[in-house]
Chain A
Amino acid sequence: MVHAAYLMLLFPLAGFLFLVAFGRRLGDPVAGWVGTIAVTAAFVVACMVLAGLIGLPADHRVVVHNYFTWFSSGGLSVPVGTLVDPLSMTMCMFVTGVSALIHLYSIGYMKSDRDYSKFFIYLNLFVFSMLLLVLANNLLLTFVGWEGVGVCSYWLVAFWFQRESAASAGKKAFIYNRIGDAGFLLAIFLIFEKTGTIQYESGPGGGIFGQLSHLGGGTATAAVLLLFLAATGKSAQIPLFNWLPDAMEGPTPVSALIHAATMVTAGVYLLCRMNPLLHLSTPGTVVIATIGAVTAFVAATIACAQQDIKKVLAFSTISQIGYMVLAVGSGAYIAAIFLMVCHAFFKGVLFLGAGSVIHGLEDEQDLKRMGALRRYMKWTTVTFTIGYLAIAGIPPLSGFWAKGDVLDNTFAHYKPLWVIGLVTAVLTAYYMSRLEILAFGGEPRFDQPGPHGEPPLHAPHESPWVMRLPLVVLAFFAFFGGVLDLPWVHTHNLESFLAPVFNGTLYNDNLAGGAEWALALTDIAAALAGVIVAAWLWRGAEVDKPALEPAFLQRVWYWDDFYDTIIGRPGQRLATFCAWVVDARVIDGAVNGTAHLVKVTGTAARKLQTGYARNYALGIALGMALIIAFMLSRTWWG
């Protein structure tokens, strides 16, 4: 069964094509069910392939298939094929699983939207691209999937494009991704030039990983930093992160799927896949770890001051991915993957719960207008709270184990970054508690007029079963996800499964047992500290506290304004200059000037045609004289 990985790609692709052809006719809700079934089929295949992979002995779990050659030019031959190994199968499992649940959720969420079938077309294409990214056996095919998810993200963020802000957000997401893609391409070129191949494990010379000796230290660092640039674009880290909050303009299932569970993890996946390369470059990994930690901290501070429920979760995503990147930079790849999987669960349930709240409150997203939703939406409250506890790091939920793993490994490698990570953990607990209290706790505020004069809202209703079922499933996994990799279990867990991909030696948690306990207690203390502070600060009915939400944090540390000033405005001025000076005056001037010159020349030359035969005869006489003079000069002077 491990050889049927291609079916995972074919099912969503078939769904996409089928919906393109017949989606509009099928309409709401049949198109949604078609899309969901396609992705569920992919999930089933993923389970079967995983079972087949586990059936193989531990050091043989790398299955490469080449289906056909995309193109072959000079020394470069690019196959289209799959690489099935523990890393790609782990990714496939949670990608297909979470995607299937979110497809199901969307059937209810997108009901009565006029572009219902288009939504599922894009979602299916997205799943196909993400799986292509994960399963590809060479860099270029990965890049195809990378671009595919980027463009689907653009389409889905700008789904309600009639709204100016949504259309702009889509463009912003795509452009920031594009900058990262330039880094990806340059890295591919560099690697190909040095190793002569772009396949990971297969191909001439044993693929890239068989020929890493060709890469010197400088080249390796350059390649690593370029790949990391691509990762910052896709996974929203500093310096390319400010597209993610804007991307919340898209429908909430999109935010859940793309900007929490899958696409934003693609950057981390790429770094994990290229781990032998990262191993060659210490400066590169230091940079990665530092940026990860700093991003986690910065995003967490911003999340403390956001008023839109989805924006809080967006910055929370940036922060959590910062943790994953920190883990990758510290060499703790398996911890990063573990956190990625658990994050998919708890961030998924958080986003879907937020969607449920928004759906119930008729598209209201302002936290200051919510309150006491626990009384009206029981299922949503319970599942959301489970997600909240997980992300805050309260044991025994999954977040505690995963974040603990990351912090343990950071402590083992870079103590200063561990401090940043710990502070961020406190902040995480704080802002999530603030979110929980403002939305679900306290007294209702939605039945009063809004701060800008909006009318009061009706009491919210609970969501239909298609939306509740994914919430329950994800909450279950968010609660029990930690069993994948408990610290005292050393066999038959995620670590042992993934270890061969990372050569085992890259995950070293060589802390003594006592140190582990101390760190664990520190983590719990940090989480509780955050919760208590939030509970104390945000008690009471008064929710307008400008002191706790300074403009600096609300405006994302003025990052957008900074980019606008140094890049946006000069770019606009350059464009205006090009349009009005270069284009209108220089180029048009040259073209029009040429025409004008021709006209002037013609007007002048026209005077030769007097119409008098005698003038023309004079011209002949002139020619005669010239010829005679020329011949004479030849005769005399050679």
Chain B
Amino acid sequence: MLHAALLLASTRPTWPDILVFAAAAAVILVGAVGVVTSRNPVHAALSLVMTLFGVAVLFIEQQADFLAAVQIIVYAGAIVVLFLFVIMFLGVDRAEDINVEPLIGQRPLAFVFSVITLGGVLAMAATAHWVTGAQQVVGPIQGHVAGPNSPAGEPAQLGKQLFTTYLFAFEATAALLVIAVVGAVVLARRPPTVQADQEDTTESELSA
């Protein structure tokens, strides 16, 4: 409903838009800085969640509702949880000293190159008036609001493209996921000898 209203409104940004953007941007930036400067990995993971939520808001702001939902569920809900899980599993949730830098010149040069890249990208984008490219190559973002059986709305459009234009990529990523799962299982498996010891320990504990 909000989208329909927005569509019918004028092209000039309204105050709610600006406010939402500013808030989301602040959240994102705080979270990003938090990830980079946290001493404790758990704090960093939580900052990352903050950033992901901010990005999801901005997705909704830009009429990518489905993606916002997927972002929350997959990124914040699965990936970051996996991060936390591994942190706890390895037991490395202690603070790390971030002031010492053993590699010579790493920090200054990192700053320099990154800032150059940032400045360059912004300058190029500004020169190109912020967008270049053909309009509507693949398909529209939102179809017309019509009868119950005709495609409409962003998820429907996304789905339509995924299963027609991008079908091959879709299937490939499915296979990729399977491979990743198999890889994870193989990588994280314990070696057999350690397992035998564990079983003995468990049995002796139970019998005692």
Contact = CB atoms under 8 A, between A and B. Distances in A.
Contact of A635 (B109, B110, B116, B127): B127
Given A612-B103, A614-B103, A615-B103, A629 B120 contact: yes
Contacts of A625: 112-114, 116-117, 120
A120 to B, nearest CB: 86
Given A614-B106, A615-B106, A621 B123 contact: no
Interface in B119-176: 120-121, 123-124, 127-128
A632 B109 contact: no
Contact of B120 (A612, A614, A621, A631): A631
A562 interface: no
A632 B113 contact: no
Interface residues of B, number: 15
Nearest 6 A/B pairs, CB to CB: A628-B120, A621-B113, A625-B116, A625-B113, A632-B120, A625-B117
A63 to B, nearest CB: 91
Contacts of B113: 618, 621-622, 624-625
B117 A624 contact: yes
Given A614-B106, A615-B103, A621-B110, A628 B117 contact: yes
Given A621-B109, A625-B116, A629-B116, 10 more contacts: A621-B113, A621-B114, A621-B117, A624-B117, A625-B113, A625-B114, A625-B117, A628-B120, A628-B124, A632-B124
A618 B106 contact: yes
A71 interface: no
A361 B110 CA distance: 102
A618 B120 contact: no
A317 to B, nearest CB: 88
Contacts of A628: 116-117, 120-121, 124
A153 to B, nearest CB: 78
25 contacts: A612-B103, A614-B103, A614-B106, A615-B106, A618-B110, A618-B113, A621-B109, A621-B110, A621-B113, A621-B117, A622-B113, A624-B117, A625-B112, A625-B116, A625-B117, A625-B120, A628-B116, A628-B120, A628-B121, A629-B120, A631-B120, A632-B120, A632-B124, A635-B127, A635-B128
Interface residues on A, range: 10 to 19
Interface in A570-629: 610, 612, 614-615, 618, 621-622, 624-625, 628-629
Nearest to A628: B120
Contacts of B106: 614-615, 618
Nearest to B116: A625
A624 B106 CA distance: 16
A614 B124 CA distance: 28
Nearest to B118: A628
Nearest to A622: B113
Interface in B52-111: 103, 106, 109-110
A625 B121 CA distance: 10
A68 interface: no
A636 interface: yes
B124 A631 contact: yes
Contacts of A624: 113, 117
B165 to A, nearest CB: 29
B121 to A, nearest CB: 6
Nearest to A636: B127
A628 B123 CA distance: 10
